[in-house]
Amino acid sequence: MNDVTLTPEEIERYARHIVLRDVGGPGQLAIKRARVLVIGAGGLGAPVLFYLAAAGVGTIGLVDDDRVSLSNLQRQIIHGTPDIDRPKTQSAADAIARINPHVTVEPHATRLIAANALDLIRCYDIVADGSDNFATRYLVSDACFFAKKPLVTAALGVFDGTLTTIRAHERGKDGKPNPTYRCLFPEAPPPGAVPACAEAGILGALPGVLGSMMALEVIREIVGFGDGLVGRLLMIDARAMRFETLNYGWDAGNPLTGERPSIHDLSGHR
């Protein structure tokens, strides 16, 4: 795909990117060549999809098996009232086509499970996980390790959120393995410890903020500028409007890439 070029229309469309010293023409071409898989077209996935499409990501894959409901529209801004009861993949694909006709959308109207995760993820350059449960986050992160793909992953609370980038298949500048998701969260919280959005509620603008930051991190990973979030967890407290960053590292005891790994495939996931 080295012969990919920008049309005159695309040059005008992405002019504000192209004049950026850290992006420029080569960076915009990298964005156009990129294939990004977005897990979920919900609160986080909606702004991710919006901004990746607007940025000119050449191919966006979207995994979601849900349909649009009225209660989604308070925060899942890629969908509208006419989309109620439509598959989210179709609704999102139509919205992306309106935003940017130069983007190819590959909808996967299915649930990401162990049986299909590797086949889906291997087809893309980078994954953005906006799923809403720990089981899927562990599955996605493990699959990205085995597929050797970078992962941008985020999670939401009622008034808080977190964001980090995982490159567990690579080593850092110090020669040590990069941390895995399991280094950051060795165990999922017990069932019921984290209430679902439908039970606890969520402030609609919060996923918009965090999802936009996910898109920014994906673009930074594609173009290769700035200091990425590998080994750093960005934490947002919306009540206090406070942003903090926690550093974390490789855990030699983690079961995926530790000194005595016990996870060798995805068979342990349902």
Q: Is the pTM here over 0.85, yes or no?
A: yes
Q: What are 222-260's pLDDT values in tens digits?
A: 999 999 999 999 999 999 999 999 999 999 999 999 999
Q: What are 136-159's pLDDT values in tens digits?
A: 999 999 999 999 999 999 999 889
- Binned at pLDDT 50, 70 and 90, residue 37 comes out as very high
CA dist., res. 153 & res. 136, Å (int): 11
Report whether pLDDT(29) > 90.
yes
Which pLDDT does position 183 carry in this prediction? 96
In 3D, which of 73, 49, 197, 206 has the Cα closest to residue 132?
197
Instruction: Compute the average pLDDT of residues 57-74.
Output: 96
- Binned at pLDDT 50, 70 and 90, residue 199 comes out as low
Residues 224 and 181: beta-carbon distance below 8 Å: no
Ordered by where they begin, the domains of the chain are 34-247 (3.40.50.720)
Report whether pLDDT(3) > 80.
no
Which pLDDT does position 24 carry in this prediction? 96
Which pLDDT does position 132 carry in this prediction? 87
Q: What are 106-125's pLDDT values in tens digits?
A: 999 999 999 999 999 999 99
Percent of the chain with pLDDT over 90: 87
Instruction: Compute the average pLDDT of residues 66-80.
Output: 95
